[in-house]
Amino acid sequence: MKYIDLHVHSNRSDGTIPPRELVRMAAERGLSAFALTDHDNTDGVAEARAASAEYGVEVIPGVEFSTEYLGMDIHIVGLEYELENPEFQRHVAEYRDERLFRNHKMIDRMSADGIDISWEKMEQSFGQIAWTRAHFGRYLLDHGYVKDISEAFSTYIGEDCKYFVPREKSTPFDAARLIRRFGGIPILAHPFQYHLSEEQLEELIRGLKDAGLIGMEVYYSTYSEEQSARLLALAEKYDLAPSGGSDFHGSNKPSIALGTGIEDNLKIPYSILDELHAKQKEADNLADK
């Protein structure tokens, strides 16, 4: 059986592995395909696809948009969009700019409270990319403010913490509509990560379905079989294709392995991608009518 991973990050966002190296790793781990889903950018997709033939691994163009809903970060994964469409890339740049604005505000808040951080110091540490909160967590760890990145999220930059700044513009519905506008497959990423009530989660799913949502991450590194079963029932209820991925970040999430998650708890068959493509085709046919 062929296996895949539809949620993978490179060092073009908050992962630690270059895109080309991810392709080699995927081949070593026996994956037939993976989606490169960096945060708010598609910069690594071309590099990964250039290595695809060499290693015999299909690289699926992906992106993970960060959006705001009920004061929280909600993530929408997009697959198989029109990568080279200039209009699509213009919108991707807007998401990147939102992240840059948020990052400035986080740095200002930390600096005002005496944390030794600045834009220049972040650039020295991580280069000129659109940093995620994982980069801030790494900075706090490297400069002795926390013992590990998990503590950074629980005490400094998590959603209930003082230095968390939500995104101020785009909603998950905007992201889903954008991905569909350019032919892609919008997927609600890791639904249980948002700690919504059952009613709130279903309300979000209904709104996203109206906006063009095609899939939902049912299989994820931190989910139990029971949680995946609950999400699969929700996907069936709202006529969504199940999706799944490890959310691999390299050494930034060292317990998660590419393709297999935590302690090999993930095995995502290629048929999952086939189901997503089938739903994508249905949506395209409806849009053409």
pLDDT at 159: 85
pLDDT at 134: 87
Domains of the chain: 3-85+170-288 (3.20.20.140), 95-157 (1.10.150)
* Residue 146 CA neighbour count, 13 Å, CB half: 17
User: Where do runs of H (alpha helix) occur along the chain?
Assistant: 19-28, 45-50, 52-55, 86-112, 119-126, 133-142, 149-152, 172-181, 198-210, 225-237, 271-288
Q: Grade residue 288 by pLDDT with cuts at 50, 70 and 90.
A: confident
Q: Is a pLDDT exceeding 90 seen at residue 252?
A: no
C-alpha–C-alpha distance, residues 113 and 95, integer Å: 28
Q: In which residue are the tokens 């960096």 written? A: 38
SS3 category, 68: strand
Instruction: Count the neighbouring beta carbons within 10 Å of the beta carbon of residue 279.
Output: 17
Computed over every residue of the chain, the mean pLDDT equals 95
SS3 category, 283: helix
Average pLDDT over residues 38-65: 97
pLDDT at 152: 96
Q: Grade residue 248 by pLDDT with cuts at 50, 70 and 90.
A: very high
Q: Closest Cα partner for 271 from 5, 2, 52, 80?
A: 2
C-alpha–C-alpha distance, residues 81 and 31, integer Å: 22
Sheet with 185-188, strands from edge to edge, namely 241-245, 215-220, 185-188, 72-79, 58-69, 31-36, 3-8, 268-269
C-alpha–C-alpha distance, residues 50 and 92, integer Å: 21
SS3 category, 289: coil
pLDDT at 181: 97
C-alpha–C-alpha distance, residues 287 and 289, integer Å: 6
The first and second tokens of residue 141, run together, are 């760890």
The first and second tokens of residue 205, run together, are 């799913």
289-to-30, 109, 186, 245 alpha-carbon distances in Å = 40, 50, 20, 33
pLDDT at 162: 94
Summarised one tens digit per residue, pLDDT across range 150-190 is 999 999 999 889 999 877 678 999 999 999 999 999 999 99
C-alpha–C-alpha distance, residues 73 and 204, integer Å: 13
Average pLDDT over residues 215-230: 97
Average pLDDT over residues 261-269: 96
Summarised one tens digit per residue, pLDDT across range 104-160 is 999 999 999 999 999 999 999 988 777 889 899 999 999 999 999 999 999 999 988
Contact call for residues 240 and 212 (beta carbons, < 8 A): no
Output the pTM of the full model: 0.88
Phi, then psi, of 36 in degrees rounded to 5? -85, 110
Name the CA radius of gyration of the chain, rounded. 18
Q: Is a pLDDT exceeding 90 seen at residue 98?
A: no
Q: Grade residue 71 by pLDDT with cuts at 50, 70 and 90.
A: confident
State the Cα angle at 50 between 47 and 55, rounded to 5°: 115
What share of the chain has pLDDT > 90, as a percent? 87
Phi, then psi, of 7 in degrees rounded to 5? -155, 95
